[in-house]
C-alpha cells in the first residue's frame, strides 16, 4: 500500500516510532516555546515548522489544547512538552539562552544581528498580546523581525519559521 503521509521519501513506509527514532539521532539542539497563543492553528503551524527544522523540543506554556490539524501529524515525530505555568517551563531551561521573538518592546533588536548560541530556546507569544511580561523578563535576549512593508509584523507562525531558519543557518550549516 502506498504511504500517503507528507514525508520525505526516506521515511516512507516506516512507522511513526521509527521516524521519531531516526530524527532523534540527528536533532538540532534548538528548542521552541509557545506561550499564550490564542489561535490554535498557529500552534499547529509552529509545531509543523519545528518538525521541518528537526528541533529538539517544543514547549507549550499555558493551555494544552491546540489544532493538531495545522501540525499535519508532525507532532508524532518530535517531543512536545506541556507546561501549565511559566515557572514549570523555566525549570527546564537552566543551561539555555532564552531568546524572545517580540516586536512590542523597546528591548527588542533586529533578528539579523543576533549571533545564536547552540543551546537556544526561541520563545513566541500571542499575536494580540505578545509574550507575557513575566516570561519576557526571563529572556536573555529579545529580537524582532524587520518589516519592509506597511505592516508592523508577520503572523506568529511565519515569525517562527523565519527565526528557526536564521538559527539553523547560523548554528547547523
Domain residue ranges of the chain, discontinuous segments joined by + = 15-171
Q: Domain 15-171's class? A: alpha beta
Task: Please give the C-alpha separations between residue 56 and each of 30, 79, 128, in angstroms, as whole numbers.
Answer: 6, 7, 27
For residue 129, the model assigns a pLDDT of 84
Checking if the pLDDT of 40 tops 70, the result is no
Q: What percent of the chain has pLDDT over 90?
A: 72
Provide the mean pLDDT of the chain. Answer: 91
Q: What's the grid cell of residue 41?
A: 492553528
Residues in a beta bridge with 121: 31, 98
The alpha carbon of 53 is separated from its chain's Cα centroid by a whole number of angstroms, namely 9
Amino acid at each position: 500500500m502506498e504511504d500517503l503521509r507528507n514525508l520525505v521519501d526516506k521515511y516512507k513506509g516506516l512507522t511513526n516510532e521509527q521516524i521519531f527514532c531516526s530524527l532523534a539521532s540527528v536533532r538540532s539542539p534548538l528548542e521552541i516555546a509557545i506561550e499564550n497563543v490564542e489561535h490554535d492553528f498557529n500552534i499547529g503551524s509552529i509545531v509543523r515548522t519545528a518538525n521541518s527544522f528537526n528541533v529538539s523540543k517544543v514547549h507549550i506554556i499555558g493551555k494544552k489544547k491546540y489544532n493538531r490539524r495545522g501540525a499535519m501529524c508532525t507532532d508524532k515525530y518530535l517531543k512536545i512538552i506541556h507546561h501549565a505555568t511559566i515557572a514549570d517551563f523555566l525549570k527546564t531551561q537552566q543551561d539555555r539562552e532564552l531568546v524572545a521573538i517580540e516586536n512590542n518592546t523597546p528591548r527588542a533588536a533586529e533578528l539579523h544581528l543576533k549571533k545564536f548560541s547552540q543551546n537556544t530556546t526561541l520563545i513566541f507569544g500571542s499575536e494580540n498580546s505578545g509574550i507575557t511580561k513575566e516570561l519576557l523578563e526571563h529572556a536573555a535576549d529579545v529580537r524582532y523581525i524587520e518589516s519592509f512593508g506597511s505592516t508592523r509584523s508577520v503572523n506568529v507562525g511565519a515569525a517562527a519559521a523565519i527565526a528557526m531558519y536564521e538559527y539553523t543557518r547560523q548554528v547547523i550549516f
